[in-house]
Amino acid sequence: MIQLCDVTVTYRDDYTALDHVSLIISKGEFVFVVGATGAGKSTFLKLLYREEKPTSGTVIVAGQNLTEMRLREIPSLRRKLGVVFQDFGLLPNKTVYENVAFALRVIGANRQVIRRQVPNALEMVGMAHRPDAFPHQLSGGEQQRIAIARALVNDPPLLLADEPTGNLDPETSWSIMELLNHINVRGTTIVVASHDHAVVDRMERRVLGFEKGVLIRDEKCGVYKEATDVREARQSVTR
Ligand SMILES: Nc1ncnc2c1ncn2[C@@H]1O[C@H](COP(=O)(O)OP(=O)(O)OP(=O)(O)O)[C@@H](O)[C@H]1O
Ligand SMILES: [Mg+2]
């Protein structure tokens, strides 16, 4: 689903946000991207939806080589992926239904498709009972559910989320993660950048750890940060 080959991203010609990163994410995986602020997590996600271009190296997403991609090809990539952000990004003057329908309208879906897909997406995120609410009438967790419905209404194979629980309390964060987990089990590949130690540790999924743009860790069943005693024990075994 995702392949990065020796990818470097340099901002302003001198600041390296991603440094020679190579990795593969297969169809159906659930992957966390962790690291301190400025480590390159958002830059990594932006590469995947072609908001940023690599300075060097190759990025392939859903069979498309983004390095060579022309501007007019970007919409066809974006149709294959949904993106969710920390601040939800809902349109304040549109209802829940309209916010989700909007994502289909911009890609030219017809009325029949919209009438079928929007209720399905709302049902999947557990918000089918509030189609007429406006974003300000919903809690943060509910707004994030709508943002996830909007990202998934087109049934894309890949969902990217940048700090999706950054503004939510622990319990609500966990319910959003359970929702993402459920979506993953149905077959969608998911990549989540997160600062949320508790959630990452509890999910026990693959963890990519970045430090100053370098991929320093890739663990199959990882935690946010390896505890010092675990690291020491491991080092003493390898010694
Ligand atoms: N458009 C830009 N122009 C210049 N520098 C940038 C730009 N975007 C990001 N950077 C720099 O690149 C580095 C990586 O940024 P990035 O947003 O990927 O970090 P992050 O891991 O997502 O951090 P956070 O946890 O704070 O969201 C940072 O030092 C940042 O200042
Ligand atoms: Mg970020």
pLDDT of residue 235: 60
40 lines ligand 1 (CB under 6 A): yes
The pLDDT value recorded for residue 223 is 74
Whether pLDDT at 226 is above 80: no
The side-by-side arrangement of strands in the sheet containing 64-65 is 15-25, 2-11, 56-61, 64-65
Nearest atom within ligand 1 for CA of residue 195? 25
- What is the pLDDT, as a whole number, of residue 35? 94
Q: Decide which of 118 and 14 is more confident.
A: 118
pLDDT tens for 9-49 read 999 878 999 999 999 999 999 999 999 999 999 999 999 99
Q: Ligand 1, closest atom to CA 36?
A: 25
- Mean pLDDT for the chain? 91
In the chain, the domains with their CATH numbers are: 1-69+158-239 (3.40.50.300), 81-155 (no CATH)
Q: Report the length, in residues, of the chain.
A: 239
CB atoms within 10 A of CB 92: 8
Ligand positioned closest to the Cα atom of 51? 1
Centroid of ligand 1 to alpha carbon of 41 (angstroms):
8
Percent of the chain with pLDDT over 90: 79
Helix (H) or strand (E) segment spanning residue 177? helix 170-185
pTM over 0.85: yes
Residue 171: pLDDT over 60: yes
**Mean pLDDT calculated for residue range 115-140:** 96
| The pLDDT of residue 239 | 57
Q: Is the CB of 42 under 6 A from ligand 1?
A: yes
Q: What is the pLDDT of residue 237?
A: 59
pLDDT per residue as tens digits for the range 67-117: 988 989 888 898 899 999 999 999 999 999 999 999 999 888 899 999 999
Residues 204, 236: Cα–Cα separation, whole Å: 24
Which ligand 1 atom is the nearest neighbour of the CA of 40? Answer: 18
Q: In this predicted structure, what is the pLDDT of residue 231?
A: 54
Q: Whole-angstrom Cα distance, residue 64 to residue 73?
A: 10
Q: Are 64 and 17 in contact (CB under 8 A)?
A: no
* Run of H or E including 163: none
pLDDT score recorded for residue 220: 87
More confident residue, 12 or 194: 194
Ligand closest in space to the Cα of 14: 1
User: What digits encode the pLDDT tens for the residues 93-104?
Assistant: 999 999 999 999
Neighbours of 91 (CB within 10 A): 12
Shortest-distance Cα residue to atom 26 of ligand 1: 37
pLDDT tens-place string over residues 52-69: 999 999 999 999 999 988
Mutating to test ligand 1, I would choose from 18, 32, 42, 196 the residue with most ligand atoms within 8 A of its C-beta, which is: 42
The rounded distance, in Å, linking the Cα atoms of 24 and 215 is 12
Residues contacting 146, CB < 8 A, separation 6+: 88, 90, 96, 99, 100, 122, 125, 127, 135, 138
